[in-house]
Amino acid sequence: MKISKKERQDKLQLTIADNPFVTDDDLAKRFNVSVQTIRLDRMELSIPELRERIKNVAEQTFEDEVRSLPIGEVIGEIIDIELDENAISIFDVKEEHVFQRNQITRGHHLFAQANSLAVALIDDELALTASAQLHFNKPVQIGERVIAKAKVRRKDDRRTTVEVRSYVGQMLVFRGEFDMYRSTTQVEGGI
């Protein structure tokens, strides 16, 4: 009971896509053909050998790691800061920051840029966000550069209120007001 070449190659493609870890030998047994036939099939379909497939999978994740880990402590790049007064950071929206289906920046990246800028702005050992009001005014697309401008609005002995406005070009895309604890007095809440 043999299946056609076309059919076998279709199934071969699906099988490898589903599990890149199968050897030619496995495939030969699965489809009741010789190893050589499998190799001819792979060649016709331009499917690389097992080791290359595995390496590709590994390299993908490795790149993702180096791309997302150096978040360091501030999201975006601070280009200007005067402690307890104001600060500016830029954040370039890349592929990993957007929803796949519509290429719109995921909200937590805009929040992260604004919030980490607010934290950096506080001239204190420890600054924690107690609460925040956020407004997402305009979707940000992949490839756009977001410039966040933070200003200290109010300050008393325990709290600081920071307002952050984020722009793409002249357009206000995000606005947030962050109520921040400072650490000199003992903290009872906040992040």
Partner DNA sequence: ACTCCTATTAGTACCTAGTGCTAGTAGCGG
Partner DNA sequence: CCGCTACTAGCACTAGGTACTAATAGGAGT
Token pair listed for 46:
């331009």
> 176: which strand partners?
134, 164
By CB under 8 A, is residue 21 in contact with a copy of itself?
A: yes
> 146: which strand partners?
91
Q: Which residues ranging from 134 to 163 are in contact with DNA (CB under 7 A)?
A: none
Contacts (Cβ under 8 Å, ≥6 apart) of 9: 41, 44, 45
Characterize 33-53 residue by residue with b for buried, 16 or more Cβ atoms within 10 angstroms of its Cβ, and e for exposed. Answer: beeebbeebbeeeebeebeeb
Contact 180, 127 (CB under 8 A): yes
Stretch that binds a copy of itself, among 4-12, 82-90, 124-132, 148-156 (CB under 8 A): 124-132
Among 30, 39, 151, 158, binds DNA (CB under 7 A): 39
Q: Which residues ranging from 47 to 86 are in contact with DNA (CB under 7 A)?
A: 48-51
Which residues form the interface with a copy of itself (CB under 8 A)?
20-21, 51, 54-55, 57-62, 64, 69, 71-73, 75, 96, 99-102, 104-112, 115-116, 126, 128-140, 174, 187, 189-191
Residues at the contact surface with DNA, assessed by CB under 7 A = 2, 4-5, 8, 23-25, 32-34, 36-37, 39-40, 42, 48-51
